[in-house]
Structure 1
Amino acid sequence: MRLGSDRRYHLILIAAGRPAMHGWWGSEATARDKFVVWVGVYGALPDARVILVDAESGAVFRVWPDER
């Protein structure tokens, strides 16, 4: 999937088993910073998950909580 450079890094918040919020950034550094903010702000929601994906390559950079 080829996206504009301003929408390459996709952040997804899932709460109670459903997508609750999405965000897209062109800067990987900004997206990683937002990941940390979203975990802090929304991490207490029921069954919260935060996922950071490179929408161009499909690579998953970070998932909270860890799936280990």
Structure 2
Amino acid sequence: MTAGRYQVTVTTGGGPLIQGWWGSEATARRKFASWVGEHGSRSGARVTLVDEETGVVLTEWPDRR
């Protein structure tokens, strides 16, 4: 099975808690929102969505901007 282009990662304590890859950006964005809801209350939680093809962070929670 080939990993998808869009990677969603939940990190806590500086290390990955859970990661997933999807071929569809829309699907990855839905999973991003879902994981923010599921894991956002964990201490130090961070959720990122990255386009693996370009290396660009498409969105992150909490927003650092």
**Considering the TM-score relative to the shorter chain, is it more than 0.5?**
yes
CA–CA distance in 2 between the matches of 1:33 and 1:6?
17
Unaligned runs of 5+ in 2: none
**6, 9, 26: which one pairs with 1:9?**
6
Q: Is the 8 A contact 1:53 1:61 kept in 2?
A: yes
Aligned-CA RMSD value: 1.6
- 1:45 aligned to 2:42? yes
The alpha-carbon deviation at position 16 of structure 1 amounts to 2.0
> Aligned AA for 1:46?
S
Aligned sequence identity (%): 51
CA–CA distance in 1 between the matches of 2:23 and 2:41?
27
TM-score w.r.t. length of structure 1: 0.88
Q: Is the 8 A contact 1:6 1:27 kept in 2?
A: no
Aligned residues: 65
Unaligned runs of 5+ in 1: none
- 1:25 aligned to 2:22? yes
CA–CA distance in 2 between the matches of 1:57 and 1:5?
17
